[in-house]
Amino acid sequence: MVTLETIPLFRHLNRAELQTLRLIAQERRFAAGQEIFREGAPGDGVYFVKSGLVEISAGAETKKVFSRLGAGEIFGEMAVIELRPRSATASAAQETEVYFLPRGEMLSFIEHSPALAFALLQQISSRLREFNQLHLREVLEAERLAVVGNFARSIIHDLKNPLSIIGLASEIFSKPDLNPETRGQVQARIKRQVQRINDLVTDILAFTEGRSSADLRPNNFREFILELVADLESDASTKAIHIVLENEPPAGLFRFDARRLGRVFHNLVNNAKDFLDEGGQIFLRFKTGDGEILIEIEDTGPGIAPEIADKLFQPFTTHGKAHGTGLGLSICKKIIEDHGGKISARSEPNRGAIFCFTLPVTK
């Protein structure tokens, strides 16, 4: 329990001022759970906790407690400086006693005590700062949860294709009259999709941890592309989308990480599929020169939205899709940079999105 003279706001007052304060202060008692004032009620004065505990909350349907105030603390102070309804509800969290100073008397008292006016403004400023920090934390937490939700949706979207293929392939594999050759092909397809899922998880972990994990080994680039395109065509066939090789991939053994580079093609092609109607086309073209391979992937979709063109490869950037966060393109950028190459995107009149990336030719 505190007395008026021990409340921090009044400690500097002289004996005469304290006597005046005692004359205008009203002592009130509230049972546990009882409202002291309600949100929206007229602001008729300021309160100080004499003993007990006060909860400040807001929200009619869903009550949210902003703060809990103990002995000596002030609440309802905004009523002193503005004639507006209460912005929150104050309730006794336990049996509580308060000092109540009516607005008119408090204003008159402040007019004769500049020191008290200054101390009250400091108190209000401190309280506003506390609420601002609380609001900022809540906003950041809400944004963090939104990012986590988008991140989860992106992962689920990326997993749906291989899981669907595994499901269909499993049905075929279980047929008793399946010939051995087809059974072997289906089994290999299931293994490839399981590996895709494993690669996806590995790449996401590598991306979030910020580490490079490119395993550069000599691989036959043409064979790699032809096998990859067959896999991409199989995935795209569900929407009657066609993968078109505009020219032959360059032949030769080059150093690259086949698993992670395959992830780039899958990401870019799947991203294009999201913006294509049935019968759309995705073109792959290759060019060699100046010690590098240039690969372009173009679709017949609407192109790149101007509002996201400059931040396309930033994490969690997305536009015009019900799923995804743009994380796939961020992963592509990291994989290509881990190979020593560069990736970019552009749109041209009457053409769809064009993604271009380079790979150093190291044998």
| Domains and their CATH numbers in the chain | 4-112 (2.60.120.10), 214-360 (3.30.565.10)
Of 136 and 298, the one with more pLDDT: 298
CA 48 to chain centre: 41
The pLDDT of residue 236: 76
Residues 6+ apart with CB under 8 A from 85: 39, 40, 41, 42, 43
The pLDDT of residue 326: 54
pLDDT above 50 (res 356): yes
Strand partners, 208: none
333, 343 in Cβ contact below 8 A?
Answer: yes
User: Going along the chain, which residue ranges are E strands?
Assistant: 26-30, 35-37, 45-51, 54-58, 64-69, 74-75, 89-92, 96-102, 217-220, 242-245, 253-256, 281-289, 292-299, 343-347, 353-360
Distance CA 306, CA 345 (A): 12
Measured torsion, CA atoms of residues 140, 142, 146, 149, in degrees rounded to the nearest 10:
120
Q: What average pLDDT does this structure show over 152-179?
A: 79
Strand partners, 58: 64
pLDDT tens across 8-51, in order? 878 778 888 888 888 889 999 999 999 999 988 888 888 999 99
Tell how strand 281-289 and strand 242-245 pair up: parallel
Q: What average pLDDT does this structure show over 66-77?
A: 87
Specify the range with the lowest mean pLDDT, choosing from 17-21, 123-127, 264-268.
123-127
Of 247 and 236, the one with more pLDDT: 247
Of 63 and 97, the one with more pLDDT: 97
pLDDT above 60 (res 321): no
pLDDT above 90 (res 224): yes
The pLDDT of residue 31: 95
Of 186 and 112, the one with more pLDDT: 186
Cα 41 to Cα 55, 64, 79, 87, distances in angstroms? 16, 18, 11, 8
Q: How is residue 46 written in tokens?
A: 């300021």
The pLDDT of residue 162: 80
Q: What average pLDDT does this structure show over 274-295?
A: 90
The pLDDT of residue 92: 94
pLDDT above 80 (res 199): no
The pLDDT of residue 272: 87
Q: What average pLDDT does this structure show over 260-278?
A: 86
In the three-class reduction of DSSP (H, G, I as helix; E, B as strand; rest coil), residue 298 is classed as: strand
The pLDDT of residue 178: 85
Q: What average pLDDT does this structure show over 217-241?
A: 87
Q: What average pLDDT does this structure show over 297-307?
A: 87
58, 67 in Cβ contact below 8 A?
Answer: no
Cα 136 to Cα 86, 111, 115, 198, distances in angstroms? 22, 35, 32, 38
The pLDDT of residue 323: 46
Q: What average pLDDT does this structure show over 119-123?
A: 70
Q: How is residue 345 written in tokens?
A: 């995107």
Give percent of the chain above pLDDT 90. 26
Look at residues 124, 96, 119 and name the one whose alpha carbon lies nearest to residue 33: 96
Distance CA 300, CA 292 (A): 26
The pLDDT of residue 139: 60
